[in-house]
């Protein structure tokens, strides 16, 4: 059985922090499935197709990374993909409450699926997609936070 992990999220858009986490995961797992929520709780700025395309751009260098979208329950998608690990990033203590709740609920729904947490490199611990969008919309330079092509897409979309 292949050692697979699913890394779910909205990725609106994918940041260097997310990519850093994927890089770490590719060293631990045979296959990493980056799963974009088709209908997340929040209203994304980028369409699903755009978010997928941006993720493909940012993660092009990894040949053991699959990028796809899912609709419905994450644990069901993990079952379909035969992944026993859900991967999430912990940037700071403030992430913990929400992540602990999410992991607990997912465990109740699917006791055989484990949630694993990785921390991004220190320089990415303050990044969030919504702050990146806000900075880009106000004319700030987001090059340190996102891939150059994503920076250009943000400028095109938000300014
Ligand atoms: N680097 C940079 N930013 C990061 C990060 C990292 N390593 N890790 C998290 N973030 C940021 C994201 O950019 C995002 O910021 P934003 O809110 O400003 O956009 C925030 O942290 C968290 O978002 P994200 O990681 O994209 O996850 P999410 O909370 O949007 O996704 C799902 C949640 C999709 C995983 C969850 O809702 C889900 O599983 N949905 C499917 C339905 C389901 O199964 N529901 C039952 C759950 S029990």
Residue owning the nearest CA to atom 39 of ligand 1: 74
Distance CA 153, CA 159 (A): 10
CATH class, range 4-158? alpha beta
Ligand 1 lined by 13 (C-beta under 6 Å): no
Distance from the CA of 8 to the center of ligand 1, in angstroms? Answer: 7
Q: Would you state the pLDDT for residue 30?
A: 97
Atom number of ligand 1 nearest to Cα 11: 26
pLDDT at 140: 96
Q: How far apart are the C-alpha atoms of 19 and 158, rounded to whole Å?
A: 22
| CA distances (Å), origin 75, targets 35, 72, 112, 122, 156 | 12, 9, 10, 29, 35
| Residue tagged 């709780």 (tokens) | 41
Judge if the upstream peptide bond of residue 141 is cis by omega within 30 degrees of 0: no
Helix (H) or strand (E) holding 8: strand 4-9
**Spatial separation of the C-alpha atoms in residues 148 and 24, rounded to whole Å:** 21
Testing ligand 1's pocket by substitution, the residue of 40, 55, 76 carrying the most ligand atoms inside 8 A of its CB is 40
Distance 79 CA to ligand 1 centre (A): 19
Q: Which structure tokens are listed for 144? A: 């340190």
Each of the 159 residues of the chain gets a pLDDT tens digit; together they read 579 999 999 999 999 999 999 999 999 999 999 999 998 888 999 999 999 999 999 999 999 999 999 999 999 999 999 999 999 999 999 999 999 999 999 999 999 999 999 999 999 999 999 999 999 999 999 999 999 999 999 999 997
Query: What DSSP character marks residue 131?
Result: H
CA of 49 to the centre of ligand 1 (A): 18
pLDDT at position 1, please?
A: 57
Geometric angle at alpha carbon 53, from 67 and 41, rounded to 5°: 75
Active site residues: 18, 42, 91, 129
pLDDT value at position 17? 97
- Written as six digits, the tokens of 84 are 């026993």
Per-residue pLDDT at 41: 86
Helix (H) or strand (E) holding 150: helix 148-158
Probe residue for ligand 1, chosen from 32, 55, 74 as the CB with the greatest number of ligand atoms within 8 Å:
74
Helix then strand then coil, in percent of the chain rounded to 5, is 45, 20, 35
């Amino acid at each position: 059985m292949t050692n697979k992990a699913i890394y779910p999220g909205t990725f609106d858009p994918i940041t260097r922090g997310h990519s850093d986490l994927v890089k770490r995961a590719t060293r631990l797992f045979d296959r990493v499935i980056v799963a974009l929520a088709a209908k997340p709780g929040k209203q994304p700025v980028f369409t699903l197709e755009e978010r997928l395309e941006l993720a493909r751009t940012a993660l092009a260098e990894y040949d053991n990374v699959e990028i796809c979208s899912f609709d419905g329950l994450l644990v069901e998608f993990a079952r379909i993909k035969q992944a026993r690990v859900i991967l999430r990033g912990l940037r700071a203590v403030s992430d913990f409450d929400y992540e602990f709740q999410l992991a607990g609920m997912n465990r109740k729904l699917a006791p055989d699926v484990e949630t694993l947490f990785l921390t991004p490199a220190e320089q990415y611990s303050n990044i969030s997609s919504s702050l990146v969008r806000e900075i880009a919309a106000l004319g700030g330079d987001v090059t340190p936070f996102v891939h150059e092509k994503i920076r250009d897409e943000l400028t095109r979309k938000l300014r």
